Structure 1
Amino acid sequence: MATIQMLSADEARRAIPALSSLMEDGIEDNASMGFMAPYDAEAVQAFWQDVASNVAAGTTLLAVAVSDGEIVGTVQAALAQKPNQPHRADVMKLIVLRRHRGQGIARNLMEALDAVCLSHNRWLLVLDTATGSDAEAIYPRLGWQKAGVVPDYALYPDGGYCPTTFFYKRLKDGSASS
């Protein structure tokens, strides 16, 4: 069973090789995560370095799933920084190693992230994912609402166009009295 941990900036920096391996596994699986094939190790490491810097700045929350001492999954939330969005976070990069899928790791990561977002008073979460992907099927089961689909929004790593589905989730009522 994997355990979920929130990483500090220093822990995130130390985890860059493992986080990069997660991304490589996803790119090899043709997951649309912002990177193209072939795998560009330097670009992916720079991405995770930026994430660690954002964790240090307090603008990103980074969770990992650890099984037998190995990071086997991750997810992050970027806390909206605009003055009119103090209640919102963007969930990104839910990744589980292919060989560890089907074990509830994605669910556990997302539930842990929900709790941490709430502790930061971020109760409206948004995300996007490749339409038709295995990931798209996960979110409704976790209480996410589909907002819509944008055709040709991004590219898959192999260069094909990728339609993208947008979701949102309210963790609590957002009325002014909350």
Structure 2
Amino acid sequence: MRVLRWDATQVRDGAAELAHLLTDTVAAGASVGFLAPLDRSRATVWWRERADGVARGELAVWVAVDGGDRTDADARAEDAGFGRVVGTIGLAFSTLPNGRHRAEVVKLMVHPSARGQGLARSLLTTAEHTAAATGITLLHLDTETGSPAERLYDTAGWTRVGTIPDYATNTVGTPRPTTLYYKRLDPLPG
């Protein structure tokens, strides 16, 4: 398993793989902004649209690619940034002049078949380290209250700010609360 940062072309070209991850994650009940069942073609379009934000530098996307049993051709494809996508995380950078020091963690997803192996923590750590290396000193995010993600953020040193009732619906359309978190980062020496 490797975590790779994808550029805009890779996000656009890998949108179908990312869509598989998104639809399977939503089908498993993860509240990541979509209702179930999520159509793969709609998920593919959604990911392709994210490529524009990556190209503008407003969004960074990392993917976890499962190496598994690989042929030489599979290894070359994975080295190019493609393979079976089993996880992702993004950082949405503030475009406001007074917010250039902060970013939002978005779309942390791990495929149901890859959960329980520390992949979510690895993705989160990668995003945190990259943010610190680029001068970001504050990260924030929201997650469904009561979800397994809360344990991850609590144990990864994030500070729980509070809860907003009925913030978003779960995958079947029932309003659910969300918990807000932040984490201060120390800039890494240049």
1:63-95 CA-to-partner distances (Å, cap 9, x unmatched) read 111111421100000001111111000101100
> 2:20·2:40 contact (CA, 8 Å) conserved in 1?
no
Which residue number corresponds to residue 97 of structure 2?
A: 83
1:93 matched to 2:92: no
- Could you list the runs of 5+ residues in structure 2 that have no partner in the other structure? 68-82
**Runs of 4+ deviating beyond 4 Å:** none
Q: Percent identity?
A: 39
> 1:32·1:162 contact (CA, 8 Å) conserved in 2?
no
Give the TM-score, by structure 2 length: 0.87
Which residue number corresponds to residue 176 of structure 1?
A: none
**Which of residues 96, 104, 117 is equivalent to 1:103?**
117
Give the TM-score, by structure 1 length: 0.92
Q: What's the offset of the Cα at 1:14?
A: 1.5
> 1:6·1:62 contact (CA, 8 Å) conserved in 2?
yes
- Could you list the runs of 5+ residues in structure 1 that have no partner in the other structure? 174-178
**Which of residues 74, 80, 93 is equivalent to 2:88?**
74
Q: Tell me the SS of whatever aligns to 1:31.
A: coil
Q: What's the offset of the Cα at 1:122?
A: 1.2
Which residue number corresponds to residue 80 of structure 2?
A: none
Report how many residues are paired. Answer: 172
Q: Partners of 2:165 and 2:55 in 1: how far apart?
A: 35
Q: What's the offset of the Cα at 1:123?
A: 1.6
1:17 matched to 2:16: yes
Q: CA RMSD in A?
A: 1.2
Q: Partners of 2:169 and 2:148 in 1: how far apart?
A: 17
**Paired letter, 2:171:** P
